[in-house]
Structure 1
Amino acid sequence: MKNIQIALDGPAGAGKSTIAKQLAAQLDYVYIDTGAMYRAITLAALEQNLNLEDGQALGELMKSLDLRLTPGDQGQRVFIGEREVTEAIRTNEVTNNVSFVARQAEVRTALVVAQRKLAERGGIVMDGRDIGTVVLPNAELKVFLTASVEERASRRHRENIARGMDSDLPSLQADIALRDKRDSERTVSPLKQAEDAIYLDTTEMNIDQVVTRLTELVEGVLQ
C-alpha cells in the first residue's frame, strides 16, 4: 500500500491531536504532533524568562535546544534533552502563551524544516495550523478540522479536569476565541484552510465518527 502524507489543520481545541493519533494508529502510520514542538519551545522560553515576541532570542534558544519526539505506549512523548516534558507542555501557562512563540518567523522557519524532514518518507499523519498550506503543500490528503468555540472550550475543559488541572469554562471560551484571532491574524503562516483541503466541522461528531470519516477519505485517496 502506498504511504501518503496526511495533513490535519484547524484551530485550537478542534481535537486534531486526539484524532490524528487514532487515525495514525489505525493506518499504522507515524503521528507527528507539530503543536508539541511549539509548546516545548514555549516552555523552555518561559523557564528562561525570555521575551516571547523576540524572534531572534527564540531562534538562538532553538539552536541549543535538543528537542525530540518519540513514540510511547500512551502516544507521542516529548523530550528536551533527557527531560520528558510531555505533560509540562500542556499546562495553562504554556497554552496561553504558545501563540506568541508560534508567530515568530525564526521559530516557524526552523520547525518547518524539521517537520518536512520527519514527513519526507510518507506514512505520516501531521497536525497543526499550517501543515497543508506551508509545511506539506503537496500532501495527498488535507483536512481542515474545526468546531464551534463553545464545543472546543468544553472539550478542553473536560481534558483539564481529567488531568486534575484547574479549569474554568467561560475563561477557556475567551482564551480559545483570542487564540483563534492571534493564529488567523499573524503575519507568518496564519491559520487558514488550504484551497485543496476538505472542510470538516466536528461540533456534532464524536472522535470515533471523525476517525471513521477520515479513514474513508484516506481510502478514497488510495484507490
Structure 2
Amino acid sequence: MAEGQGAGPGGRRRGVSGGGEVRWKPAAPGQPALELGAVRAWLFTDLHLGAQAPQEITSFAAALGQAPADLQALVVMGDLFDAFVGPEQWEEPAFQPLCAALSGLSGRGVRVILLRGNRDVLLEPADGARAGAEVADSVLLSTAGGRVLVTHGDQFCLRDRPYQRLRHWLRRRWLRALGRALPYSWRLALARRLRGVSRQAVARKPLDVLALVEPAVVEALEGHGAAAAVIGHLHIAEERLLAGGRRLRILPAWEPGRPALALTPAAQSLESPGFMSAAGPSQRTPVVTLDGLAGSGKSTLARRLAQRLGWAYLDSGAWYRALTWVVLARGADAAAENEVLDTLSRIELHCHADGRVIVDGRPLQAELRTARVDAAVVEVADHPRVRAALDERMRRLRSHAGVTGVVADGRDAGTVIFPDADLKVFVEASREERARRRAAQQRAAGLPVQEQAVLAALAERDARDASRGASAPRLSPGGRQLDNSKLSEEEAVERLLTWVAPLLHPPDAGARAADPTGGRAGPSH
C-alpha cells in the first residue's frame, strides 16, 4: 500500500511532464514536520514487519530492549509494517511484542515517532497512541552541524508518475476513512492483493523511473531550513552531496541484526562520529566493468554475468546509440555538440535491469542498429560535454531502487564511467578472432558477409578508438585482463564469476553473504 505527503513546502507537490521536465501541481497539504530539537535519537526504516514472519517482529522488539539509558527519541522512518491495515493489528499475537517494546520505551520517557511510509496508508495518531507513539510525516532534528530533515523519501521519486498519483489520492482523509470502515478481514485481503500488484508493476518499470529526484530533496531542505536529510524507501545505503552543499543520507531497509543509525546533538555532519551506525560505513552497490575493443565479446559476457548474479546490466554503447537515434529523429545535427546536448536535456533516457534502453517511455532495440545510427553515433560520442552528461546519467543506475549490483560494458566503463568500480576487466581477443565473430553475427542476421571487409573495418575502428584519449579502450590500473580468444562463452563467464566472488562473500560479511541481494532488495512501492 502507498502513502505519503507532497515533496515541497507549502502543500505543493511535484509532477513530471511528458518531456521529463519537473513541474509543480496542487496536492493535499501534508503535516508540518515535527520538531524534536537536539536529542539523542535512533533511526530505523523499512522494517516491513508482518504476522507471516513473527521472528522478525520479536528480533526488532529485542533490539529496542537494548536501547541505551540516555536515548531520547526513536524514529521509525516509515514502513514499520509490511502493510498497516488498522488498529486491530496491534491485538494480533505476533505484534504484541512490538507494541510492548514501543510502549516500554515511551514509558521510559523516550519520544517514539512513527513516520508514515508508503505501506502505512491507514496509520493515524490514535493508532500510534496505542503503542505510546506519535505519528507524523517527517521530523526535524537539531545538531551542531545544522537541522536534519528525516522522512520516508517516497515523495521524492517523482518520475514514477502512476505511483505519485496513487499516493496523492491515498492521502485523502475520506478515502482513508472509507478504507478503515471495511471489515478487518477485507482490509487484510486487499492489502495482500495490492502488494502483489505493486510488485508486478515495479518489476516492469525502468530503473530510472524509481529513482529519487534530487532537486525535490533540495527544495524540501530549503523549505525546512535544513542542512541535511535522512531518508529510507530506496533500500540502499548511500550518502550524496546535493546542490548548495546540502547532504543526503539514504538508509538501507532494516533486517535482523542491523543496528539503528544513531544521532547525537554533537553531530557536525552526516559523516561525523556523532551521526553514525554501529554497522560501520555505508554499503556501496558493487560495480563490475568490462571494457574492450569492438568484437571482443565484452557485451555478451557482461550480459551473461549480470544474469548469473541477478544484477543490473548497463550497455553504455546502447545509451549513446539511443541518444543518436533521438538526435536523428528530431532533425538535430549530430556534429553540433550544443544541439546534441539540448536534445539530451529534453528527454527521459534510462534503462531496464536487462540493459534495454528506454527513451520517453519507448523501448529501443532494432532502432539502435540501423545504418544511419551506425554512421552518426561516432560523432555524438566524440563530444566531450555530451559524454560527461550521459556518463553522469549512467552512474545513477548504481543508486536506483532494487539494484544490488551493476555490470557495465563499454570502451571506458572502468576508466571513465565507473572509475571506482569494484572489479575492472579488460576483455581481449585477437583481431582475427573478433572479425570471425562479427562475421558470424552478420550471417546469423541474414546479412551478406565479406570477411576481409569485416577485418579491415575492425582495424579502422581499433585505430579510431585508440585515438580517443581518456576514453580509449585500455586496461584500468588495478584491473584484470581476460583473453577471450580461445575461451568458450561459458568458460569466460565462469572465470569472471570467480573474480566477482570476493565481492559477494567478503571475509566479514557474516551469515547473509551467500545472498548477493541481501534478502531485502527492491523498491518498497
The two structures have a TM-score, normalised by structure 2, of 0.39
Decide which of 165, 170, 178 is 2:460's aligned counterpart. Answer: 178
Supply the AA of the counterpart residue of 2:462.
Answer: D
Q: Give the 3 Å change call, closer, same or farther, for CA 220–84 of structure 1 in structure 2.
A: closer
Deviation of the 1:110 alpha carbon: 0.8
1:25 aligned counterpart, secondary structure: helix
Deviation of the 1:78 alpha carbon: 2.3
Deviation of the 1:96 alpha carbon: 4.4
Deviation of the 1:105 alpha carbon: 0.8
Are 2:386 and 1:76 equivalent residues in the alignment? no
8 A contact 1:5–1:122 mirrored in 2: no
1:7 aligned counterpart, secondary structure: strand
**Matched positions, count:** 220
C-alpha distance in structure 1 between counterparts of 2:413 and 2:457, whole Å: 23
Q: Give the 3 Å change call, closer, same or farther, for CA 170–215 of structure 1 in structure 2.
A: same
Further displaced range: 23-32 or 183-192: 183-192
1:39 aligned counterpart, secondary structure: helix
Partner of residue 99, structure 1? 378
Counterpart mapping for 1:204-223 below 5 A: 204-221=486-503, 222-223=505-506
Deviation of the 1:189 alpha carbon: 2.4
2:446 aligned counterpart, secondary structure: coil
Supply the AA of the counterpart residue of 2:340.
Answer: L
Are 2:441 and 1:162 equivalent residues in the alignment? no
Supply the AA of the counterpart residue of 1:185.
Answer: S
Q: Which structure would you say has the larger RCO, counting Cα contacts within 8 Å and 6 or more residues apart?
A: 1
Deviation of the 1:160 alpha carbon: 2.3
Deviation of the 1:168 alpha carbon: 3.3
Deviation of the 1:16 alpha carbon: 1.4
Structure ID, larger Rg = 2
Are 2:55 and 1:55 equivalent residues in the alignment? no
Counterpart mapping for 1:26-45 below 5 A: 26-45=308-327
8 A contact 1:105–1:188 mirrored in 2: no
8 A contact 1:143–1:199 mirrored in 2: yes
8 A contact 1:36–1:89 mirrored in 2: yes
Supply the AA of the counterpart residue of 1:4.
Answer: P
Supply the AA of the counterpart residue of 1:11.
Answer: L
The two structures have a TM-score, normalised by structure 1, of 0.87
Decide which of 456, 474, 497 is 1:192's aligned counterpart. Answer: 474
Decide which of 130, 134, 138 is 2:416's aligned counterpart. Answer: 134
Q: Give the 3 Å change call, closer, same or farther, for CA 100–8 of structure 1 in structure 2.
A: same
C-alpha distance in structure 1 between counterparts of 2:383 and 2:494, whole Å: 36
C-alpha distance in structure 1 between counterparts of 2:449 and 2:375, whole Å: 13
Decide which of 407, 416, 426 is 1:144's aligned counterpart. Answer: 426
C-alpha distance in structure 1 between counterparts of 2:454 and 2:379, whole Å: 17
1:14 aligned counterpart, secondary structure: coil
Decide which of 17, 24, 29 is 2:306's aligned counterpart. Answer: 24
C-alpha distance in structure 2 between counterparts of 1:142 and 1:149, whole Å: 22
Identity %: 35
Which consecutive segments of 4 or more residues in structure 1 shift more than 6 A?
none
Q: Give the 3 Å change call, closer, same or farther, for CA 169–91 of structure 1 in structure 2.
A: farther
Partner of residue 64, structure 1? 346
Deviation of the 1:106 alpha carbon: 1.9
Q: Give the 3 Å change call, closer, same or farther, for CA 123–112 of structure 1 in structure 2.
A: same
Partner of residue 88, structure 1? 367
8 A contact 1:96–1:175 mirrored in 2: no
Unpaired segments ≥5 residues, structure 1? none
- 1:19-69 alpha-carbon deviations (Å, 9 max, x no partner): 111101111111111110011122223344544332222111111233231
